[in-house]
Amino acid sequence: MDKSQLYSESEESEPTTTADDDFLEDILDFQGVMKRVCGNIEFLQLLLVIFREDCGRNCDTIRTALADQDAAAVAAAAHKLKGVVGNLGSRKALRYIRQVENFSRGGKLHAVTPIFAEFEESLAEFTTTIERIVRDPQLLTTVGD
């Protein structure tokens, strides 16, 4: 199986097989995440449970802080997300959340909203991919074959 079969918009659709490796590596750095968990899929599954909870909570915090024009709260939540997303290997989401953190630290909340929307989209791509791995851990062992 190649990496392109891991990402698809929904379970019902056929796996995407035309995406290139760079696109998929941008969604999820397979080798990096496996290195971080020392190849332990059960540990990865546990991290993903925590990831889902933390991401939801921190994204809610950012939405509320944006509505309240609270740059410090946006920056703090973005910083937390940066660590979680970075450790689980979503390069694309990491790029966006870094920008959210940097702009909010600079008080430029007008620039944060569209970037945060891009972050959420990339996070959805990542989550779709990683959820498939949680359901079928064998996908990780066959990537690159």
Mean pLDDT by 10 residues, the chain (145 residues): 42 38 64 82 83 91 97 97 87 94 96 97 88 72 52
The CATH number of 3-142, from 1.20.120.160, 3.40.50.720, 1.10.1740.10, 2.120.10.10, is 1.20.120.160
Among candidate residues 132, 137, 145, the one with its CA nearest the CA of residue 39: 137
pLDDT for the residue 127: 85
pLDDT of residue 2: 44
Note the pLDDT of residue 111: 96
CB contact set of 104 (below 8 Å; sequence gap of 6+): 71, 72, 74, 75, 78, 112
Predicted pLDDT at 25: 64
Tokens 């959420």 belong to residue: 120
CA-nearest of 21, 46, 45, 47 to 132 is 45
- The confidence score (pLDDT) of residue 51 equals 85
Helices 91-105 and 71-87 meet at what angle, rounded to 10? 160
Identify the pLDDT of residue 10.
Answer: 37
CA dihedral sign of residues 27, 33, 39, 44 = negative
Q: Which residue has the tokens 């569209």?
A: 114
